[in-house]
Amino acid sequence: MSIYEVTQMLQDKNNIQNDMQQAMELVRDMFYKKYLQKIEKEVEIRREKIKANRPKEVELLYAVKPFLAQDKSAVIDKMADSIMMMQTLNTLQSEMNRDYRKESVHSDGIYDVDENCMASKNNNFVNAMLIFAMCSAIN
């Protein structure tokens, strides 16, 4: 391929847009496979555990369901799903906190204070990723 042909390709906006779109898809796919897919798998494992051992609030909702009008049963199902989703999120967060505490304790029982971690406590990126993974697992 000659320099002339390369410059001709660079002048075509459609080629550039297509290449940028392909690059974005590659980055999105890599990010999904490297991070989100693993998070989704872990979320699904916890969701199945919670579904198998439903919280009392969900059991109560399902106990009331036969006494409601038929059009209200979808509302009960959504409420139950929401409760189980929040339970899943709480479980994941508590596991992450527990794992962090394990890594932060020295043999003498003294905790490390990681300034970077403390600064990132206000960053809700991990929570957003968990919620995104949970929502995509529902659909």
Q: Give per-residue pLDDT as tens, 11-64.
A: 888 888 999 999 999 999 999 999 889 988 988 999 999 999 999 999 999 999
Query: What DSSP assignment string belongs to 2-48?
Result: -HHHHHHHHH-HHHHHHHHHHHHHHHHHHHIIIIIHHHHHHHHHHHH
Q: Give per-residue pLDDT as tens, 75-134.
A: 889 899 989 988 888 888 888 777 665 555 556 656 555 555 554 554 555 666 666 666
pTM for the structure as a whole: 0.56
- Angstrom distance (rounded) from CA 105 to CA 89: 25
Whose CA is closest to 85, among 121, 41, 54, 125? 54
